[in-house]
């Protein structure tokens, strides 16, 4: 039975929600983050259980796994732009940091599950829709490549060391704690930023491009299911709502949630932008009994209210 869990990136968007839910389930959490940062009042308890440290520091990683039953590895360098400007920094964080955690987990006699939070960025341009876990992998950025490489190491540790690993590939995560610079919640943050200052959303291209937006609470739900499900060991799961939403539809939902009467403004299409993307989540439904609960309209209304109050 899993009782004590290490969450890396515990003060980030996903890690903070996950840590809060684990604590509320009366389990013990150790957080690891390279910042101690009071993001909001409701994160006081997360700060208290978080150790300031870097996953690239082997000494720190090896020193915090006493009696830890599971590791959920959320920490990552997530900026596509930064990964292209400084691929070495990206690789050190996303590849070397992951290897450090995997090695420490194998050395530990207590770790029963290792959850690796990957990314839909490893797919690149879609060849078929919806995108299943068997879709060809062709990352288009150093970030996507580093997450792909991390997956390969995770799978190797499952195959060779029998470390019970699970890979989760989130699509476009959003929440009120989203980093506006994140490539996944970026368009939502931009749209809400515009309506917040009484300006219309700006759409790059024709707005027909599609994405799969999933609330962070549903990503947490999948992680918690994967922690306990014995059959999940060694598996890879897409994490999305399983439905495409066009950028035009997204803009309409944000405008409606704001209660204002804007019409989107269109600009030129962004170079290299993926046109269509959404997840096939049948495997997660069948094996984990996963079911997304937060409707996009509800999640965005919460986000708009939070940012405009």
Residues serving a catalytic function are 143
d(CA 104, CA 107): 5
DSSP 123: S
Rounded to 5°, angle at Cα 130 from 128 and 131? 75
In our burial notation (b when 16+ CB lie closer than 10 A, e otherwise), range 66-83 reads eebbbbbbbbbbbbbebb
- For 215, the 3-state DSSP assignment is strand
> Distance (Å, rounded) from C-alpha 134 to C-alpha 121?
14
Beta bridge partners of 265: 202
**Contact by Cβ (8 Å): 297, 257:** yes
Q: What dihedral do alpha carbons 237, 31, 101, 168 form, nearest 10°?
A: 10
- Distance of alpha carbon 128 from alpha carbon 116, whole angstroms: 25
Least Cα distance to 147 among 124, 181, 113 occurs for 124
């Amino acid at each position: 039975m899993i009782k004590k869990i290490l969450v890396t990136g515990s003060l980030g968007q996903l890690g903070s929600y996950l840590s809060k839910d684990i604590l509320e389930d009366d389990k013990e959490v150790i957080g690891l983050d390279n910042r101690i940062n009071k993001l909001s009042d409701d994160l006081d308890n997360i700060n208290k259980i978080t150790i300031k440290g870097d996953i690239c520091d082997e000494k720190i990683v090896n020193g915090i796994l006493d009696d830890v039953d599971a590791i959920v590895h959320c920490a990552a360098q997530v900026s596509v732009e930064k990964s292209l400007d400084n691929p070495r920094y990206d690789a050190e964080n996303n590849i070397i940091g992951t290897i450090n955690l995997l090695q420490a987990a194998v050395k530990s006699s207590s770790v029963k599950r290792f959850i690796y939070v990957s990314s839909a960025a490893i797919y690149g341009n879609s060849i078929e829709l919806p995108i299943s876990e068997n879709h060809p992998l062709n990352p288009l950025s150093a970030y996507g490549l580093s997450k792909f490489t991390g997956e390969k190491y995770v799978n190797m540790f499952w195959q060779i060391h029998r470390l019970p690993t699970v890979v989760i590939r989130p699509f476009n995560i959003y929440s009120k704690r989203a980093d506006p610079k994140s490539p996944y919640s970026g368009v939502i943050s931009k749209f809400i930023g515009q309506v917040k200052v009484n300006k219309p959303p700006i759409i790059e291209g024709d707005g027909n491009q599609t994405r799969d937006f999933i609330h962070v609470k549903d990503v947490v739900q999948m992680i918690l299911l994967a922690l306990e499900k014995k059959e999940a060991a060694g598996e890879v799961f897409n994490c999305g709502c399983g439905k495409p939403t066009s950028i035009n539809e997204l803009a309409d939902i944000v405008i409606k949630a704001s209660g204002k009467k804007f019409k989107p403004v269109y600009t030129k299409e962004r170079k290299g932008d993926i046109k269509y993307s959404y997840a096939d989540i049948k495997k997660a439904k069948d094996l984990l009994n996963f079911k997304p609960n937060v409707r996009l309209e509800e999640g965005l209304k919460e986000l708009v209210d939070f940012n405009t109050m």
